[in-house]
Amino acid sequence: MAEPTLYERLGGYDAISAVANNLLPRLMSDEKLARFWQNRGTDGLEREKQLLIDFLCSSAGGPLYYTGRDMVTSHKGMGITEEDWSAFMGHLRATLDEFSLPETERGEVIAFIESTKADIVDK
């Protein structure tokens, strides 16, 4: 029998959606990071949240298909700095703490997110 995917071990769509619903308001209310969501309409914010959920579910081995752009294209020109990345990671860790994610899954999630850094942070 096959080992459960990370998607399954995280609790599936509903659990990943709950994490996104916790994480995004943290990011948007951070003084340093809020600039990335200024002047965005409600529809655009909802679409961005759904793309995040789809991306995370798909990347974790779930049945969803991510239809968004790749990380380089979707973050190009945003001016994301190392400091921004560190702030983001702090919020991610706080969100994972809130959901009491087991260490194994927590490590896998953080490792995966860290693997996207080179495509997101401006050089």
3-class DSSP string for the chain: CCCCCHHHHHCHHHHHHHHHHHHHHHHHHCCCCHHHHCCCCHHHHHHHHHHHHHHHHHHCCCCCCCCCCCHHHHHCCCCCCHHHHHHHHHHHHHHHHHCCCCHHHHHHHHHHHHHCHHHHCCC
0.85 exceeded by pTM: yes
| pLDDT score, position 101 | 92
- Is the pLDDT at 69 greater than 90, yes or no? yes
pLDDT given for residue 2 in this prediction: 85
Domains of the chain: 11-120 (1.10.490.10)
| pLDDT recorded at residue 92 | 97
123, pLDDT greater than 80: no
